[in-house]
Amino acid sequence: MITGATSGIGELAAIDLARRGAHLVLTARNAERAEQTVTHIRRVSPNTVIDIIDADFTDLASTRRAGMEINHRYARVDVLINNAGLHAMSQRTTVDGLPEMITVNYLAPWLLTGTVLPALRRAACARVVTVASEASRRHGTLRIPDDLTSTAPFNALQSSPLYGKSKLLDIMFTLELADRLAGTAISAMCLNPGYNTTGLGRELRFAAVLERILNVLGIGDPHNGANLIVRVGTDSGLQSGGYYSGKSARLLTPVPPADDPRTRRELWQATAELMAAKGYDGIYPGNAS
């Protein structure tokens, strides 16, 4: 199961996994782009089983419905890849009254993973892979729980630290999830895909021109990020709770406070309380509660 697979490194990862014989479940909120992705995959792997699940990660209710549908439709989920991401250049508020970039990049993966957890538990050995970023090292000051709900305006120049903060939250989520799932057959890990010339920065006015220049210079090949996603999703030699980067999938040490178990638990509790306030209580039962 892959989120954000209708473009960029997510689509490339889906194509690679199709070649390896995976049954793909892709989330999408745009039916036309989803069909285009299916066409791209079928060109290289005509017999791949591909299912599309409608999901809008700016909307918690849509995210929850997608997870519930997956639980009902499939006997198991072997690998969940939380890849969907957004680098917004200005503040937008979701239908839930939450900041859009934090919602798409962190709250939606937290909610989706918890909702799909029963299907992951039904697999003999399952894995949750979350695409983070070394942008997390430039996250400014982390404020829990305020950063989860703040809709204070920002401009393009102020967007990078906030994007980095959303990716810091992904790393903290992954490490805490790995701790909570210790002793089960589910592992959790995250990765830094490196710089990729994909649609993530599409809100920049000069994004298309910049992408063409970087492609000519051979910088930011999205296949590198996609290859790492596939490796972290399939390599049995990688450890749960790891944060990986580069062609060799080397282990990275997360920037503080992601390396602090107490702060990670504080973030988890704040997120659970926020979800409960929005009507989504008891998302992580059992070991991961």
What's the CATH number where 110 sits? 3.40.50.720
Cα–Cα dist 53/9, whole Å: 19
pLDDT in tens, 99-140: 999 999 999 999 999 999 999 999 999 999 999 999 999 998
Q: What is the pLDDT of residue 285?
A: 84
In a domain, 204, yes or no: no
Q: Quote the pTM value.
A: 0.92
Environment class of 214 (CB within 10 Å of its CB; exposed 0-12, middle 13-18, buried 19+)? middle
In a domain, 70, yes or no: yes
In a domain, 177, yes or no: yes
pLDDT at 213 over 70: no
Cα–Cα dist 72/153, whole Å: 39
Q: What is the pLDDT of residue 197?
A: 46
Q: What is the pLDDT of residue 61?
A: 98
What is the share, in percent, of the chain residues with pLDDT greater than 70? 91
Domain count, the chain: 1
**Is 31:57 a contact under the CB 8 Å cutoff?**
no
Q: What is the pLDDT of residue 198?
A: 52
Angle of CA points 97, 99, 100, to nearest 5°:
105
Q: What is the pLDDT of residue 221?
A: 81
How many CB atoms are located within 10 Å of the residue 71 CB? 16
Q: How far apart are the first and last CA of the chain?
A: 22
Domain that holds residue 100: 2-195+221-278
Cα–Cα dist 165/270, whole Å: 16
In a domain, 216, yes or no: no
Quick one: residue 8, left, alpha or beta (phi over 0 = left, psi -120 to 50 = alpha)?
Answer: left
pLDDT at 174 over 90: yes
pLDDT at 196 over 90: no
In a domain, 284, yes or no: no
Cα–Cα dist 287/92, whole Å: 35
